[in-house]
Amino acid sequence: MAIQAEGLRKRYEQTEALGGVDLEVPGGTVLGLLGPNGAGKTTTVRMLATLLEPDGGRAEVAGFDVVRQPREVRRRIGLAGQYAAVDEHLTGRENLVLIGTLLHLGRRSARERAESLLDRFDLTGAGDRPVRTYSGGMRRRLDLAACLVATPSVLFLDEPTTGLDPVSRMGLWNVVRELVADGMTVLLTTQYLEEADFLADRITVIDSGRVIADGTPDELKRKVGEERLEVSVARLDGVAAAVTALRAVSADEPSVDADGLISIALGDGMGGLATAAVALREQGVEVADFALRRPTLDDVFVTLTGKST
Output 141 or 226, whichever has higher pLDDT: 141
Q: Hey, which CATH number is domain 228-293, 3.30.1460, 3.90.550, 3.40.50, 3.30.70?
A: 3.30.70
Out of 2.40.50.100, 3.40.50.300, 3.30.70.100, 1.10.30.50, the CATH code matching 3-222 is 3.40.50.300
Q: What does the pLDDT look like over 236-265, one tens digit per residue?
A: 888 888 888 888 877 778 888 877 888 888
Q: How far apart are CA 266 and CA 232, in angstroms?
A: 16
Average pLDDT over residues 117-122: 92
CB atoms within 10 A of CB 291: 10
Q: How far is CA 7 from CA 21, 90, 141, in A?
A: 5, 42, 34
Q: Is the pTM of this model over 0.85?
A: no
Q: Is the pLDDT of residue 115 over 80?
A: yes
Domain boundaries, the chain: 3-222, 228-293
Question: What is the model's pLDDT at position 268?
Answer: 64
Task: Tell me phi and psi for residue 245, to 5 degrees.
Answer: -65, -45
Give DSSP secondary structure letters for 43-68: HHHHHHTTSS--SEEEEEETTEETTT
Which residue from 252, 253, 256, 224 is spatially nearest to 239, judged by alpha carbons? Answer: 256
> How far apart, in whole angstroms, are the C-alpha atoms of residue 291 and residue 130?
50
